[in-house]
Amino acid sequence: MPDMPKIDASENNDLKSSSGGTKAKDTSKHPPMFEPVPAPFDPPTPGHYTYQAIDQAFKANMARLTNGISPAGLVEIQVQWLSHLMMSPGKQLELIEKAQRKLVRLMCHAMHAGPGADPCIEPLPIDKRFASSGWQKWPFNMMYQSFLLTQQWWHNATTDVDGVSEADEKVVSFIVRQMLDHMAPSNFIATNPDILKATIEQGGANLLTGIEHLTEDMQRTLAGKKPFGTENFQVGRDVAITPGKVVYRNHLIELIQYSPTTDDVYPEPILIVPAWIMKYYILDLSPHNSLVKYLVDQGHTVFMVSWRNPTSEDRNLGMEDYRQMGIMDAIDAISAIIPDQKIHSVGYCLGGTLLSIAASAMARDGDDRLASMTHLATQVDFTEAGELMLFISESEVSYLESMMWDQGFLDGYQMAGAFQILRSNDLIWSRLANEYLLGERQEMNDLMAWNADLTRMPYRMHSEYLRGLFLDNDLSVGRYMADGLPVNLADIRVPLFSVGTVRDHVAPWRSVYKLTVHPATEVTFVLTSGGHNAGIVSEPGHPHRSYQMSTKKVGDRYIDPDRWEQATPMQDGSWWPAWQKWLVSYSKDKVPSRKPANAKAGYAALCDAPGTYVLQN
């Protein structure tokens, strides 16, 4: 074997490391066999930053056309999948065999299909597209059966391909599923028996009505107006009407204290921190399903953070600003308004993640003002963050950063597009069929109206949480920085209550369940029916609600989520009363109720609830 060429270390003596400015390692005695040799320093060209700006501007404009989804990242993954599939002749033969078997299966079904005949393939339980009786008649039965078999074959083709990572398989499978759903027979007049029947019976009047609906929706979108029907749910008149006062305001939040409805209250106040990607009144909708009203009526003093809707001027607000101005300033205000009392803290979605960061920093610094912490559909470990991770990769985050760099924020409509794609059958294609082809408007409710009340996110904050939490998962491993120092979730000692929902596509319950690995405090976990929003807005008396609940005490052995689900008994009804009972168990005896604000402490009432920030568009 010939001698390895030696490298003169003097060539690289002027190279500086990225962390401290030390000289490059002398490699003359031990030439690198696997470690790459750094190239000599090459200063940027005079137009380097101009070229970078051109790239960012180009990507920003393209991102508006693609709803913020990076085509480069998707193409890269698809090419990788196809390359590995082409190098897997065994997988190809298996797919050919599966295609032949499905074709024979469909032909046999066609020969024996008749009234009462079982289908050769059943839709998934969540797939309601082919539920009507019209789909069981020829030729529509053959159409949807063929579609489902094709969908199943493509799932086989995009999964279990040697050399493709599980994460990339999920992306490819998701892309193919979206393409197939676009071509589903339920989306077209001639292949949907329900639409075809309505068109014949009404002489096409349903299509004319659908065109009117489409025209109105397009006009509203172009004018920046909210969807049809939302005018019946005005904030402060129809929703968010629980009485209270804004008792504190800074540039980022308004803090609302709600008026008591009982003579006596528990002494410990409750602070609720919603996610800043939503308006707070998801937890104060109509009086019958308001979590705020429920807590107040049970004798709790409730404070709510109402986030400001940022503009391009707020582009440099970061996660630390949200922690300090959003949570710590609120805690300081509550501690002054109701002195000498610890606080029950509640965080919803990313509000709970931020609350966990704040609580960890408080524990690190010896701040013991929290009495307990409750998570509602909250993740602190993002290794299994569900289908939302399909849109979060280095390519995707870089693409989003270019778009946000240009406008200073991520617009709510751009963010809503990604969530709609996750549930395209429910939120896109079913709407197309019902409203534009059948001509039937879906009745608006308070939850749907809230969902259409969109918010924005500042450039810096959104970039920091995507990278620090989703991409790098810094919080769960003790790398996340708050006030210049790392925080560790294991430092939290207050009792924890965590709620996951069965059909959550944003914060999958198995990911939420990871909080139960906490070694040093008691964790109560609840799994409730419903999705990310409807599972949380689950008032007593709501039909078809159930939950499972158990407590892991300090020193108890860990149980994985699947075994936990099998072993934990199911209970009918809402989880709210169980949580309220849990809060009471960590509260002291009741005291006379308090009116909102405390002028003597410097916190006079500024205005009535719901405040001004929630009204910002």
pLDDT for position 56: 67
Looking at the fold, whether 166 and 281 belong to one and the same domain comes out as: no
- Are 497 and 610 within one domain? yes
Same domain, 565 and 605: yes
Check residues 37 and 513 and name the one with the higher pLDDT.
513
Q: Are residues 15 and 88 in the same domain?
A: no
Pure H helices in 159-271: 166-182, 193-201, 205-222
Residues 484, 338, single domain; the answer is yes
C-alpha 615/C-alpha 617 separation (Å) is 6
Tell whether the model's pLDDT for residue 5 goes beyond 50: no
Does one domain contain both 17 and 134? no
**If 0-12 CB within 10 Å is exposed, 13-18 middle and 19+ buried, where does residue 13 land?**
exposed
Judge whether 449 lies within some domain. no
SS3 per residue for 94-136? HHHHHHHHHHHHHHHHHHHCCCCCCCCCCCCCCCCCCCCHHHH
In angstroms, the CA 554 to CA 523 distance is 8
Examine the domain organization and report whether 103 and 182 are in the same domain. Answer: yes
CB proximity list for 468: less than 8 A, separation 6 or greater: 319, 474, 475, 480
Q: Is the pLDDT of residue 452 over 60?
A: yes
Q: Which residues pair with 345 in a beta bridge?
A: 271, 373
Mean pLDDT of 477-488: 95
Q: Residue 453 domain-assigned?
A: no
Is 141 in the same domain as 248? Answer: no
Range with the lowest mean pLDDT among 108-112, 225-229, 384-388?
Answer: 384-388
Same domain for 263 and 165: no
Does 425 map to a domain? no
3-state secondary structure at position 277:
coil
Specify whether 312 is located in the same domain as 349.
yes
Round to whole Å and give the CA distance between 343 and 267.
Answer: 9
The residues that are catalytic are 349
Q: What is the pLDDT of residues 252-264, one digit of tens each?
A: 999 999 999 999 9
Q: Which of 247-256, 379-388, 481-490, 580-589 has the least mean pLDDT?
A: 379-388
Identify the CA nearest to 319 among candidates 466, 436, 177, 201: 466
Domain boundary among 167, 198, 229: 198
Which pLDDT does position 460 carry in this prediction? 92
Q: What is the pLDDT of residues 285-325, one digit of tens each?
A: 999 999 999 999 999 999 999 999 999 899 999 999 999 99
Question: Where among 178, 198, 218 does a domain terminate?
Answer: 198
User: Is residue 230 assigned to a domain?
Assistant: no
Range of the domain at 93: 71-198
Amino acid 27: pLDDT: 42
Residue located via tokens 């339920």: 186
| N-term to C-term CA, the chain | 71
CATH number for position 370: 3.40.50.1820
Per-residue pLDDT, 116:
65
Judge contact between 107 and 142, C-beta under 8 A.
Answer: no
Place of tokens 């001698």: 3
Domain-embedded: residue 463: no
> Total domain count for the chain?
3
In a domain, 206, yes or no: no
Predicted pLDDT at 406: 67
Span 455-467, average pLDDT: 90
- Whether residue 602 is predicted with pLDDT greater than 50 in this model: the reply is yes
The yes-or-no verdict on residue 16 having pLDDT over 80 is no
Judge whether 35 lies within some domain.
yes
Do residues 15 and 77 both lie within one domain?
A: no
Same domain, 96 and 14: no
pLDDT computed for residue 17 by the predictor: 35
Q: Looking at the domain assignment, is residue 110 inside a domain?
A: yes
Q: What confidence category does residue 124 fall into, taking pLDDT thresholds of 50, 70 and 90?
A: confident
